[in-house]
């Protein structure tokens, strides 16, 4: 890597600041409880007050709690004779809601407060992706290109401004991947040092403590503690790290690289992808364990017979709760107007309407009819380009076994193929925004393709200029496409005709068929 380390930070930080400005400007708009914020913003507030989720006033037909929040009335919880009667059954672990709660604790129970944490992790994910792309390509320019594309993706932008869980899942998955890429480099450096300074052996050295892999385990545990779908990435990353270890020991010429991997590397790998994530996951449930307010907690029974029984009964109740959540997810097939099938996600066939008020005064936009929308949809130029880039990576991996292509393809498959299975086997209710953990890896596919288009640093000037023109033109198209969609991503009030002009397909407007 020829660029200075300083520019390796200045460039990605500048791109992250740009993306952060986009996300924080007008973050409190719309002043409404948007889509599933009706669950997660209020659950986060309950965690702050009670340590566990709590039953709210009203229901879907009469959202009393939502109406009170918008008028700054925080009297939104039911009054119950006992904690167990007010406990709320929730379908996801608590970490994402705790993260939302940080913003509410800092800035109050307001739209800005409950969206603050999403905007922070959305911005940080731009920086992380720029840095990991730089490490994978050995180019600060390509790292900044990756960060810029992520900053300009519509779905990433919308979820960075909404109090939903999926942006936090994306953040922890990306952070885990970045840690493993650093671990890969560090492990190879240590193997090379051993090769150059120590007597040769058939299996090579043990690499001892690998803090970056342990950090990846913490991040993967955190991903699972946001949504259980994080487990698919945990399995994929364990396989990926194992393959990288095998490749590293084979690359330095060991006579028994595979046996060495299982003897020297697998024990620490198993600890990093089992024990470490498990501990991280359990710690996020501290509020449930420490209070009487959680669903199925059985606090009086647990505290009736001493510390040992408290632990045993608490674990039993906690596991029973998990079985109930598993049953909920297995039977989730209710119709929703914005639901879609996973094989349609890469082409953005059906976005998710997060916000579209039924009535707006004509004076709001100076036209006869006005619209104010938050549409959860990716930037089409980026997503369609990513489909081609991913197909190109398949060819590249088959032809050259490029580890970077393999890592991106494995992660994309881990995040997408399980939903294809659930759609065919269970007809589960699903939405486009389930793709958000994969958007950084779609961007990495485009970045690797951009690196091929640019050519090597020592390529002919004409070759480099042509490649730079292609890559620059693509980045400009993505920027223009994002700018065109921006009003319907950010709840700007515009004439109805302008809103309609931005609907790429009829399916962006029509409800999903029953």
d(CA 139, CA 450): 11
**364-395 per-residue burial string, b: 16 or more CB within 10 A, e: under 16:** ebeeeebbbbbbbbbbbbbbebbeebbebbee
The pLDDT value recorded for residue 197 is 86
The pLDDT value recorded for residue 203 is 84
The pLDDT value recorded for residue 391 is 97
The pLDDT value recorded for residue 209 is 85
The pLDDT value recorded for residue 86 is 87
The pLDDT value recorded for residue 459 is 82
Count Cβ atoms within 10 A of the Cβ of residue 84 and give its class: 0-12 exposed, 13-18 middle, 19 or more buried: middle
The pLDDT value recorded for residue 455 is 86
The pLDDT value recorded for residue 140 is 93
What would the two tokens of residue 142 be? 């390509």
Q: Which of 129, 142, 113 is nearest to 44 (CA)?
A: 113
The pLDDT value recorded for residue 310 is 86
Per-block mean pLDDT, blocks of 10 residues, the chain (514 long): 79 97 96 93 94 86 87 89 83 96 96 97 98 95 97 98 97 98 95 87 86 97 97 97 94 89 92 96 94 86 81 90 89 86 95 90 82 95 97 95 96 96 88 97 97 86 90 96 97 93 91 75
- Measuring CA to CA, how many Å separate 229 from each of 61, 281, 335, 415? 30, 13, 21, 8
DSSP secondary structure of 452-499? HHH--TTS-HHHHHHHHHHHHHHHHHHHHHHHHHHHHHTT-EEEHHHH
- Measuring CA to CA, how many Å separate 319 from each of 256, 285, 310, 322? 42, 12, 14, 5
Query: Could you give the 3-state DSSP secondary structure of residue 251?
Result: helix
The pLDDT value recorded for residue 2 is 59
Task: Map 70-105 to HEC letters.
Answer: HCCCCCCECCCCCHHHHECCCCCCCHHHHHHHHHHH
The pLDDT value recorded for residue 321 is 92
């Amino acid at each position: 890597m020829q660029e200075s380390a300083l520019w390796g930070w200045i460039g990605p930080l500048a791109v992250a600041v740009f993306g952060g400005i986009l996300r924080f400007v007008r973050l409190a708009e719309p002043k409404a409880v948007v889509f599933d914020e009706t669950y997660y913003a209020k659950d986060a507030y309950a965690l702050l007050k009670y340590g566990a989720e709590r039953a709210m006033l009203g229901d879907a037909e009469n959202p009393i709690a939502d109406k009170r929040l918008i008028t700054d009335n925080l009297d939104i919880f039911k009054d119950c004779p006992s904690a167990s009667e007010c406990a709320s059954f929730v379908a996801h672990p608590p970490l994402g809601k705790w993260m939302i709660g940080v913003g509410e604790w800092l800035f109050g129970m307001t739209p800005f407060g409950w969206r603050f944490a999403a905007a922070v992790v959305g911005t940080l994910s731009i920086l992380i992706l720029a840095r990991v792309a730089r490490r994978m390509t050995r180019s600060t320019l390509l790292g900044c290109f990756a960060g810029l594309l992520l900053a300009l993706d519509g779905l990433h932008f919308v979820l960075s401004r909404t109090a939903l869980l999926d942006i936090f899942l994306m953040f922890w998955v990306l952070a885990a991947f970045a840690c493993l890429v650093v671990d890969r480099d560090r492990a190879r450096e240590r193997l090379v040092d051993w090769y150059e300074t120590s007597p040769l052996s058939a299996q090579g050295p043990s690499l001892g403590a690998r803090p970056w892999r342990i950090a990846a385990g913490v991040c993967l545990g955190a991903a699972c503690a946001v949504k259980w779908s994080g487990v698919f990435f945990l399995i994929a990353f364990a396989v990926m790290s194992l393959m990288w270890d095998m490749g590293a020991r084979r690359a330095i010429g060991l006579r028994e690289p595979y046996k060495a991997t299982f003897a020297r590397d697998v024990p620490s790998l198993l600890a990093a992808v089992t024990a470490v994530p498990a501990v991280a996951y359990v710690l996020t449930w501290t509020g449930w364990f420490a209070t009487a307010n959680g669903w199925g907690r059985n606090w009086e029974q647990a505290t009736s017979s001493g510390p040992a029984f408290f632990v045993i009964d608490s674990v039993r109740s906690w596991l029973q709760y998990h079985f109930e959540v598993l049953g909920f997810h297995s039977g989730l097939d209710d119709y929703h107007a914005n639901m879609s099938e996973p094989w349609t996600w890469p082409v953005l066939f059906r976005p998710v309407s997060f916000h579209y008020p039924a009535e707006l005064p004509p004076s709001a936009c100076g036209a006869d009819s006005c619209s104010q929308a938050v549409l959860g949809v990716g930037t089409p130029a980026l997503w369609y380009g990513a489909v081609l880039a991913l197909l190109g990576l398949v060819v590249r991996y088959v032809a050259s076994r490029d580890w970077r292509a393999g890592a991106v393809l494995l992660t994309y498959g881990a995040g997408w193929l399980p939903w294809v299975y659930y759609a065919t086997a269970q007809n589960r209710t699903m939405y486009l925004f389930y793709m958000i953990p994969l958007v950084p890896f779609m961007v990495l596919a485009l970045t690797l393709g951009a690196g091929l288009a640019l050519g090597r640093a020592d390529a002919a000037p004409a070759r480099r200029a042509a490649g730079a023109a292609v890559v620059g033109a693509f980045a400009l198209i993505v920027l223009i496409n994002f700018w065109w969609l921006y009003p319907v991503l950010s709840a700007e009030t515009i004439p109805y005709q302008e809103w309609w002009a931005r609907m790429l397909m009829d399916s962006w407007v029509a409800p999903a068929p029953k």
